[in-house]
Amino acid sequence: MRHRPAAAVGLLALSASLLAACGGDDSGSEGGGGAAGGTLVFGASADPVSLDGAYTSDGESARVQRQIFETLVTTAPGGTEIEPLLATEYTPSDDGLAWTFTLRDGVQFHDGTPMDAAAVCFNFDRWYNFSGVQQSSSVSYYWQTVFSGYAQNEDPELPQSLYASCEAPDATTAVINLTSPSSSFLAGLALPAFSIASPKALEEFGADDVSGTGETPSFDGTFGTTDAVGTGPFRLESNEPGTSVVLVRNEDYWGEKARLERLIFQPIADGPARRQALEAGQIQGYDLVDPADLGALESGGFQLLERPAFNVGYLAFNTAKPPLDNPKVRQAVAHALNRQALVDAQYPPGSEVAKEFMPPELFGYAEDVPEYPYDVERAKQLLAESGVANPTIEFFYPTDVSRPYMPNPEANFQAFTSDLEAAGFTVTPRSAPWNPEYLDTVQSGGASMYLLGWTGDFGDPDNFVGTFFRTQQAAWGPLAPEIYSQLEAARTEGDLEARTAAYEEANRTIMEFLPGVPYVHTSPSLAFAPNVSGYEPSPVGLEEFASVSLG
């Protein structure tokens, strides 16, 4: 009997240690000289949630979906410009309400059925008619992000859908009708969430068999787990969660066939374990390299590829809160911050100091925005000119969170606070747990100056500056009215060149007004074995393995 109390203690220790682990964490070019064939094992950080893009928004799912499925349009390798994929041409009507997509002729799904306009409309209508738990923003996140609402919104707070209907006048023409003009949705269509799947397979494998609305959503079909039928350069061979997803080359691919014969994604959650697996030759590549490992991997002869930055970290002002309503005070803050020192000290190599609210890779990024270089004397001078005596600012920062653009919020807070104090500000620290308290406070306009950031969903400026500044938000307070009008006009502009110019103009206006101080863009790294070639990192994470080969 003497062991029984000990057993109970062991039991508690077991559950306690489970909970104590809650530190929390939390995201091509031509193949070249490589030989065709072979198997590449890629170390993923997790299993894909589902291979059905409509139901996912995470990077590991998208990475696999991208190889099996294709979308109407895609992004240029390594960039964010929109290029044709299943659609060879796409043109908006004059009123911007109807987009005509000319489809590539003769493309077949892996199950041999034709990829035609009817199939495209089938997919769009499927997403539009999502119901019940399918409408949850955690399930069809990207449909909501790009098209806002559904045929029948079950949540009255959801806005009207941007999507109206899809018509298929002939086999190679699909017309997508919108309820209001939009140019930003085109970039959204490059997301794997808008993968065109075989209608036959979607029905046969129960893609919409989602039952048990409310707290127990249950995905009963096999589409997205053991079945996934698209048009991509790889076909799904097997998917055993926890072990691997195995893809094989699609020998009937319409374009240039994949060079690898087989592509395997093996989940390895632990960063050091991914590195060791690469070093031991068990995998040939992995994403999200720990910055601390960069040197060792490089000297070990491994290839390191940098993914272009697609995020921004910023210090935001709420212009409704004095003294931040005073432009000279905002400028004084901007000049007081030593952003370069912070980026050098706290961020991995490849990170750069931001000068506007979107990454340089995106069209509409303006080189000639007003800049506010680190200059303490200038900050003091501006502060004196502002007429605000003894300026005191409440400075909010989140706890319990680490984001790519903000690995350690408290370190950023401390660095900026000492900068501000050196320029004559008095800083009152305010901190709160990231969710829900911090985000609630910020979004409801309760924070005067705060740390935040954004990782882009897709390659359109509206996904950055449009999200922040196109409409008035409590978090930012009132901005110069021309910011709103310029961003709205840029969003609906149909011509890419004119849109680019419009966003450049808007970025200049924004940085002139200075609603906050953007300070960093970060670039995560990928590592590959020396014999791997043809991998082109994409800022939006849309990477093709079809061009990858083993030398």
Partner 1 sequence: MLRFAVRRLLLLVPILVGLSILVFLFVRALPGGPETALLGENATPQRTAQVREAYGLDRPLPEQYLRYVGQAVQLDFGTSTRYRTPVVDEIQRRFPATIELGVSAMAFAVGVGVPLGFVAARRRGTWIDNLSTAGSLLGIAIPVFVLGFLLKAVFAVELGWLPVAGRQDQQQFFGADHPTGFFVLDGLLTGDLPAAWDAAKHLVLPAIALGTIPLAFITRITRAAVLEVVEADFVRTAEAKGMTRRVVTRRHVLRNAMLPVITIIGLQTGLLLSGAILTENVFAIQGMGQLMAGAIADRDYAVLQGGILFLAVVFVLVNLLVDLSYGLFDPRVRESG
Q: Which of residues 225-264 bind partner 1 (CB under 8 A)?
A: 237-238, 240-244, 246, 262, 264
Among 218, 340, 426, 428, binds partner 1 (CB under 8 A): 218
Contact criterion met (CB below 8 Å) for 130 and 143: yes
Assign 3-state DSSP to the chain and report helix, strand, coil percentages, each to 5.
Answer: 30, 20, 45
Least Cβ distance, residue 122 to partner 1 (angstroms):
23
Residues 276-315 vs partner 1: string with x where CB under 8 A? xx-xxxx---------------------------------
Q: State how far the Cα of 159 lies from the Cα of 148, in Å rounded to an integer.
A: 6
When the beta carbons of 70 and 457 are compared against partner 1, the nearer one is: 457
Among 5, 18, 367, 377, binds partner 1 (CB under 8 A): 18
Contact criterion met (CB below 8 Å) for 87 and 123: no
Which residues, 6+ apart, have CB-to-CB distance to 49 below 8 Å?
55, 56, 58, 60, 61
Residues 320-349 vs partner 1: string with x where CB under 8 A? ------------------------------
Concatenate the DSSP letters of all residues of 398-441 into one string: EES--BTTBS-HHHHHHHHHHHHHHTT-EEEEEEEEIIIIIHHH
Contact criterion met (CB below 8 Å) for 125 and 246: no
Among 37, 106, 112, 272, binds partner 1 (CB under 8 A): 272
When the beta carbons of 92 and 404 are compared against partner 1, the nearer one is: 404
Which residues, 6+ apart, have CB-to-CB distance to 289 below 8 Å?
271, 275, 297, 304, 524, 525, 526, 527
Beta strand 392-399 pairing with 449-455:
parallel
Least Cβ distance, residue 280 to partner 1 (angstroms):
4
Which residues, 6+ apart, have CB-to-CB distance to 302 below 8 Å?
278, 279, 527, 528, 529, 530
Q: Which of residues 173-202 bind partner 1 (CB under 8 A)?
A: none
Among 84, 267, 407, 551, binds partner 1 (CB under 8 A): 267
Stretch that binds partner 1, among 213-221, 327-335, 355-363, 365-373 (CB under 8 A): 213-221
Phi, then psi, of 468 in degrees rounded to 5 = -80, -50
Alpha carbons within 13 angstroms on the beta-carbon side of residue 266 total 17
Stretch that binds partner 1, among 29-37, 39-47, 477-485, 520-528 (CB under 8 A): 39-47
Helices 327-336 and 376-386, packing angle to 10 deg: 160
The two tokens of residue 321 are 């809160």
Residues 403-422 vs partner 1: string with x where CB under 8 A? x-------------------
Among 89, 106, 252, 269, binds partner 1 (CB under 8 A): 269
Least Cβ distance, residue 451 to partner 1 (angstroms):
11
Q: Which of residues 121-160 bind partner 1 (CB under 8 A)?
A: 133, 136-138, 141, 145, 155, 157
Least Cβ distance, residue 468 to partner 1 (angstroms):
12
Concatenate the DSSP letters of all residues of 38-89 into one string: -EEEEEESS--S-S-GGG---HHHHHHHHHH-B-SEEEPTTS--EEESSEEE
Q: Does 219 sit near partner 1 (CB under 8 A)?
A: yes
Stretch that binds partner 1, among 48-56, 96-104, 382-390, 514-522 (CB under 8 A): 48-56
Residues 92-121 vs partner 1: string with x where CB under 8 A? ------------------------------
When the beta carbons of 26 and 497 are compared against partner 1, the nearer one is: 26
Least Cβ distance, residue 272 to partner 1 (angstroms):
6
When the beta carbons of 63 and 403 are compared against partner 1, the nearer one is: 403
Contact criterion met (CB below 8 Å) for 459 and 539: yes
Is it true that the peptide bond before 436 is cis, omega within 30 degrees of 0? yes
Q: Which of residues 419-458 bind partner 1 (CB under 8 A)?
A: 433-436, 439-440, 443-444, 452-455, 457
Contact criterion met (CB below 8 Å) for 463 and 327: no
